[in-house]
Structure 1
Amino acid sequence: MIETRLLSTDELLSSLVDEVTEIRVRENAALQMLAELDRRGVAGELGYKDLPHVLRHAVRWDLHTAKRWIANAALLTNEITPTGSELAPVLPLTAEAVAEGALSIDHVAVVAEIMKTVPAEHEVTVVGYARDFEPATVRRLGTKLAYTINQNDPEPRDPKPAPPGNQHSMQWKNGKLEIRAKLDKVTGAKYEALLDPLAKPRPQTPDEGPDLRTREERQGDALAELVDLMLRADQLPEHGGEPVTLTLTMPYDDLANQIGHATLDNGEHVPADQARQLACNAGIIPMVLGGASQPLDIGRKTRTFPAAIRRILVTRDRGCAFPGCGRPPRQCDAHHIRHWADGGDTSVDNAVLLCRHHHTLIHQSEWEVSLVNGIPTFYPPAWLARQRSPRRNLINTA
């Protein structure tokens, strides 16, 4: 271990450069390993959707980071053809520089981006930029190089824009849901036709006087009324096997005494008095902890989970129970911990909520799940954690 305090500034900077170069050399070794894992198709072998999902568990990378490393590995490593022949990397000069420790992962991404815009013989120039400058400057120089090379080419014709599709986004801010939407003409006209009758000013009365709400407020109240109308409809699509519902969860004593708050199935809180009002509406299911019981076990009468059991699971798991997953209940299936085909009952004590991705993973990989003190507990494969220490989802913990 170098005692950094005893080094001169020049020695300290020189040591830092050597250390970073060594880190980059080790990164190149990791890239070679990634390429080999990809060639072997280990994702299918381990029961995972793809290699990025394996790496998310193996080295705790975000999926974006994992995909970037895999893409870089494909550019810098030799490719093996089905006949066993070995082909040079897509970016051979870049691969040499990375093996020397001269370039970082970020450099590789920028070089690859530039090489999509210039002929292959210019890789030597672009790699020269990367050896001398940080990635942001390399990108600017590469853009200038591409312009110089292509400036005499005919201007490309702008592609005919595709017709815009319907768009809708939602985001919770300060306890309120902000909604933005872009709808095509037909859908927009239908939406207006639904909203306009509900957004008309209220008739003036002696008691209330004229309707003083702004147009925006009237339309907002109209949308809220439309949501209530839809919740009472009988032809809505299903979520997890039952019609669209909203679940409110709170202790029975709190509801009875009108104190505290209820928790919606998306994690938001509402005060007790509002919860009592909501619990009276159709399409809204009150889950009162400590109140009247619901069926928790239907044995082996059917493989599918009825609505009553699913509601209990929503209350307990609050969404996908897999460690680290934050998908809400509406995106989840009820999974038999002991498979129904193997004699498992259709019951709360033999079920866990899982999103489609993690439901597939549990069935196809060596991940295991059980209930420990009523809490879904997961055990990773031995290749990921030799001791197979139990893991729980801390995101959905109350």
Structure 2
Amino acid sequence: MSVENHVDHWGTSPGDPVSAALAAIETALGDLLTMDPAYWRTSQKKDVLARLETLKAQQAALELRVLATAGDIAEEAGDRDASAWIRANLLVDKSAARAQIKLAAAVAKHELLATGLADGVISHDKARVITKALNAIEANSAASAEDLLLAEKLLVDYATRLTANELRVVGKRILVEIDPARFEDAEAKALLAEEERAQQKTALRIWDNHDGTVGFDGVLPVAMGMRFKTHVEAWAQPRKQQLAEKGTPLPPWERLVGQGFARLIETIDPVALPRHGGDATTINVVISLDDLRKELGTAILGFDETNGTMISATEARKIACNATIIPWVLGSDGQVLDAGRSSRFFQPIQRKALRLQQKCCQAEGCDMPPEWCDAHHLTPWSLGGKTDLKDGVLLCPHHHRLAHAPGFTHERLPDGTIRFTRRP
């Protein structure tokens, strides 16, 4: 029976099967939403989640079918596609709407994929992965129409057993699976070309947010990016484990990773950095004599306010523990009163000796392992402290910050531990 025979184009017919079907869905969802899942049996929750996943795939299939035939909406809106109407009426960004329309057109070309969506066995995300893989095969001059059809069949089958990310990996190698003899060399060449493009795309932007933070984003080749991820997580994961063992509420993983990245930067040995104009890479800190004497002073990273960054004197003292730093002390008239010596890290052998002696963070009650601690100068380097074992103490990042914070004092107890006390 034709739907067209029952549709009132003025929208007044109660016999409109499309409207009736949508109303039934809305009513059923409304009924479910009035119920409290807290009172459902475990088996009911599992059943609901499984069936909703199927329904989401079918909903996506229906939406993509409608979008694939939405040319009349575009004509009415006077736009090249239906995205303008979607933006105005559904408040969906045009870029997102156009991506959906593009996906709808791609799915419409592949019958097996469209059927999998309609049956609820392929999710929206997996459909996007499959269409991207099939588009790449269509653009491959070495692949035939038979290769394309077989790839679609294999990917639809894989989609019933793999996650979207796993399917993405399979999709990149699907032609090799179809015919290794023909496509293995082509895959290797394509991979080399992809890596070359990745090198050209490598970029990093850094900017001052003017709120005490610096923002950055960038793109790295995948091999370098995964190394970066591994290095950062190597610093973040132990911190997470320590907090979990102590029963402390865990901060968001993104914050732990950010702290791990900061630790990675702090522990870079200046000796390993490149040289500029014959001078070792250093951080220059410009500070007035008055500010040097005050606990709540300010300093400049760089040589002047125009090209430098304002930091607290506290932060400058903390940096002095872990970086090559040259302090320039200025008088009231800007005259250079002192160009201090360069201070380095505690040397690796000194760090090993401190770890052997002290076993963990020396703050009273802290048991952070020594490999995650900083070597801190008991007598601040800026006040003449020396980089030697007698003047060195292991502190975890948290207690190292307290050691330089003006709101706290600290003292070394007879047993060698450091006690922190908040200033009154």
Q: Which range, TM-score by smaller chain?
A: 0.3 to 0.5
Q: Using CA pairs below 8 Å that are at least 6 residues apart, which structure has the higher relative contact order? A: 1
TM-score of the superposed pair, with normalisation by structure 1: 0.36
Higher Cα Rg, which structure = 2
